[in-house]
Amino acid sequence: MRVLAIDPGTLRMGYAVLDAEPAPSADDYGVVALPAAMPIENRLYQLHTHILNMIHVFQPDAIAVEDPFVGRGERAFVKSALAIGQAQAVVLIGAASQGVPVHRYAPATVKRAVTDYGAATKEQVQRMAASTLGLARTPESDAADALAVGLCHLQESRVNDLAAREIAPGEER
């Protein structure tokens, strides 16, 4: 299985391409950075173009994308959550247009899958993603987040595959 993982953002979109076999490995990862001075509609169009190009080049079996974190009360991040939601929508539209299934993950689920702690720091996610994938250097934050989303998806896929193979009580082998 090959997954294109995305950490959405309208200024910086992290991406990673991971293969599941024989062990999880990163084929490519990085950040698509766009200027803040560029109008939002142009940034979204650029992100859409990048997503379509990545789908064409990497031919993923699935796309995994992180959901926006909104927060509550004083820790509400409404404006940034809306921007991330716009970038996520571009990913969803690009995937749908190419017939690639999409899997969405909450930030805490991604952190828990990679670090065993749902409130891990950015630095912990960076170090664990690099360590798990045997990378020579620690990737920058947005790329590390995309790598973590991809690792989360591969882990969830393995669990789902094992659950699907489980024999129900009373069935013969």
pLDDT tens for 95-116 read 999 999 999 999 999 999 999 8
Strands of the chain, DSSP E: 2-7, 12-19, 25-33, 62-66, 102-105
Residue 59 lies in a domain: yes
pTM above 0.85, yes or no: yes
Assess if residue 41 is contained within a domain: yes
In which domain, by residue range, is 130 found? 2-165
Does residue 19 have an active-site annotation?
no
Annotated active-site residue 67? The verdict is no
Residue partners of 5: CB distance under 8 A and separation at least 6:
15, 16, 17, 18, 63, 64, 65, 146, 147, 148, 149, 150, 153
**The one catalytic residue among 19, 67, 142, 145:** 142
Q: Is residue 9 part of a domain?
A: yes
Known catalytic residue at 66: yes
Q: Which of 7, 19, 67, 145 is catalytic?
A: 7
63 pLDDT band, cuts 50/70/90, is: very high
Q: Is residue 170 part of a domain?
A: no
